[in-house]
Chains A and B, each alone.
Chain A
Amino acid sequence: MMDCNKVREIVTSARDGGLPTDGTPAGDVAIALAHAGECSSCASWIDASERIDRSIRIGLAREIPDLTPRIMAEWDSARQQGDIPLTTRLSLMIVAVLNAGLAFMHLAGSGGLFGVQTGPHSGAELAAFELAVAVVFAMTAWDGRTRGRMAFMAVISALTLAGTVRDLVMGSTSLVAEMVHLPVLVGFSLMLIVAAAHGSPRGPRNLGYRSDALPQTP
């Protein structure tokens, strides 16, 4: 004798197509179906659960927004990020290494090679600056993203360029000494190329989370 609960579970799970793999013996299914045919309580329960399944489908089957254009925009942005030419990546990596080298040069107090005379304190600050720039170039070489980094690099490059031009015009420095700024300017130009060629890949999206939409059941 099979109890009503077991009958209901077997019949509804058979309806879901769950039976072939769940190890229920075929004989049990036949017994359950026979029971459901005779037991009015089971018949009514199974009927109600069928109606509920339908209602759930209808309840959630409203007009679905077509997100395809937005999805494909994501696709394009993701593909483009992976498509930065190897030469651009390598060049960015090289300027990153050059900037890191400059950082160590400043730390070691050997900036004098380029006529940059610094004390230990401003030497450390220059090193921090060169290292930060090196990290930005390395990150861009790695992931091809420029968003959020361009403003930082634009300010640095503009100030560097302005300072270099001023110093050259005033004759207070030599072209050789100003070579020290070349990696920053070259790196920034490479980032401009990356940004122009690949649009502006998005960073983390700001989802418009609304706290009034919190579900009742977590």
Chain B
Amino acid sequence: MPAPGDKPDTMESVEILAQAARKGDRRAFERLARECQPAVWRYALSVVHDQELADEIAQETWARAVRSIKRFRGDSAVTTWLIAIERRVIADVLEALRKRPPLKADDDQVVAEAEEFPSASVEIGVLLNDLPAEMRDAIVLTQVVGLPYEEAATALGVKTGTVKSRVFRARELLVDAYREVLPAREAEEAT
């Protein structure tokens, strides 16, 4: 399943690698892992804003993927399948986190999260973080992970039209927030 505008050759070969890995081809899985790690890791980071925790989530996602690749039938793209696994991992991790009392004050936490983003894009990290979770997921999966709308819909378990409207709604909120944060740069453009 080719991703519009996104390295169709690679995407296709990943699907082939997955079928080989399913039959037990170790090298195929290794190549697949190298190819798909950025998507898995970035999605984790977009949700938790913590590099160490993103590592843990990615690691656990791959551990589960290793154990279920035998049952991967290629109904969806490999990345979509991985993201669906990852979403269950994240749900487990967040559940575990909620059961523990916070170690830091909330203010420190916000600062720590903002610091996770490089200075050039601090605003966007904060803005992204302010989005409702379902909109953030839609925009991250389509813009950062690079999934087509249909694949993002499969990963999220919603209709393609829902992804489309969530992405647009996220953009509306981001553009509004962006203009508030950077009034000087945007003032003359906003009518």
Contacts and interface: CB of A to CB of B under 8 A. Distances in A.
Contacts, number: 198
B142 A16 contact: yes
Interface stretch (A52-60, A155-163, A180-188): A52-60
Contact of B191 (A20, A44, A51, A67): A44
A56 B128 contact: yes
Interface residues of B, number: 86
Interface residues of A, number: 54
B172 to A, nearest CB: 8
B55 A21 contact: no
Contacts of A57: 143-144
B117 interface: yes
Contact of B189 (A44, A53, A62): A44
B124 interface: yes
A16 B98 CA distance: 35
Interface string B162-184: 00110110011011001100000
B96 A207 contact: yes
B98 A65 contact: no
B9 interface: no
Given A48-B186, A212-B103, A207 B93 contact: yes
Nearest to B144: A60
A53 to B, nearest CB: 5
Given A67-B59, A207-B60, A55 B37 contact: no
Interface of A: 8-9, 12-13, 16-18, 20-22, 40-41, 44-45, 47-49, 51-53, 55-62, 64-68, 70-72, 74-76, 78-79, 205, 207-218
